[in-house]
Structure 1
Amino acid sequence: MTGAPNPHFRPTLAAAVCGILVALVSLTGALAPPGDWYATLNQPGGTPPDAAFPIAWTLLYIAMAVAAWRVWRVCGIGHELGLFVLQLALNALWMPVAFGAQALGWALWVIIILWLAVTATLVAFWRADRLAGLLFAPYLAWVSYAVYLNAGLVWLN
């Protein structure tokens, strides 16, 4: 349903809000880093080097913010952005559960629910603005990969 911009849309405000939201979520990595115990765990095959995570997440967060901005531009604040905020909250919850609490089993549940929320957000974004949906697709791929990694950690440890 890609359409004309929302007449009440304020691009600078929306860009700031989208950027701030994803920046706040990104801080959970600093607040709940993996720690020494994580290095002692048996890792599933295909686990990337630690240096890959900040690069991947930076690119994903930028794409997520731009996608949300585009949807806000077309739809205003509606269910699409509600889904976006829901998946951001689940994203923010995963690190403290997995690394802060060292509860990989619970973290697996969180990331499965996150995967469902990201999928629903992608579908809603795609319907609102095709480019926004495309910008969200790499995030779904990364979360799918993260489900595998989290499940592997649970299985192997």
Structure 2
Amino acid sequence: MKKILIHVLFIAVVVGLGALIGVANIPGAWYQSLAKPPFNPPNWIFGPVWSALYVLIGIAGARTWLAHPASGRMQLWFGQMALNFLWTPAFFGAESTILGLIVIVPLLAAILVFIRASWHRDRISALLFVPYAVWVGFATLLNLSLFVLN
């Protein structure tokens, strides 16, 4: 029962904070006015994708916590989560493509380091982060493109 509770708690906190940050930093006129690259996805896709990713991130966090709550992997997990939650206010809140880049590049690095650190200790957690790494890699390219175009 304790394991289930930890999983539910991690998922609820990650999804809940992600949603709260998203609602507090809704893309407005500034974002709409930016020149966008041809591969820019429609706005409606971001909510469902991030919701699914946050569930995966929460599961990986719970697994890591249950295995070794004071480990370097857990510190990596919390570090990438802090960067993840910082990106939206940096990009949308501050209306700054460069500030978004300053946050998203280390975020992508932290995700990749977590995958590498987890690969032999908890392959499932590492694999849960792969879609997240792919999406943040794409988001990094998108953020860079928005910076260059604007």
Q: Does 1:14 align with 2:6?
A: yes
Identity of aligned pairs, percent?
Answer: 36
**Residue 134 (structure 1) aligns with:** 127
Aligned Cα RMSD in Å? 1.6
Query: What are the equivalent positions in structure 2 for 1:1-150 lying under 5 Å apart?
Result: 10-22=2-14, 23-150=16-143
TM-score by length of 2: 0.91
Cα 1:67–1:83 change in 2 (3 A) is same
For residue 145 of structure 1, report the CA deviation from its aligned partner: 0.2
Structure-2 separation of matches of 1:147 and 1:155: 12
Cα 1:11–1:85 change in 2 (3 A) is same
For residue 33 of structure 1, report the CA deviation from its aligned partner: 1.2
SS in structure 2 of the partner of residue 27 of structure 1: helix
Structure-2 separation of matches of 1:16 and 1:135: 16
TM-score by length of 1: 0.88
Higher relative contact order (CA 8 A, sep 6+): 1
1:90-147 Cα deviation digits (max 9, x unpaired) = 1111111111111111111110011111111122222321111111100000000000
Structure-1 separation of matches of 2:75 and 2:6: 14
8 Å Cα contact 2:37/2:142 also seen in 1: yes
8 Å Cα contact 2:84/2:107 also seen in 1: yes
Structure-1 separation of matches of 2:13 and 2:82: 10
8 Å Cα contact 2:86/2:103 also seen in 1: yes
Structure-2 separation of matches of 1:24 and 1:75: 23
SS in structure 1 of the partner of residue 35 of structure 2: coil
Give 5+ residue unaligned stretches, structure 2: none
Give 5+ residue unaligned stretches, structure 1: 1-8
SS in structure 1 of the partner of residue 119 of structure 2: helix
Amino acid at match of 2:65: W
1:30-57 Cα deviation digits (max 9, x unpaired) = 1111111111110112111011000100
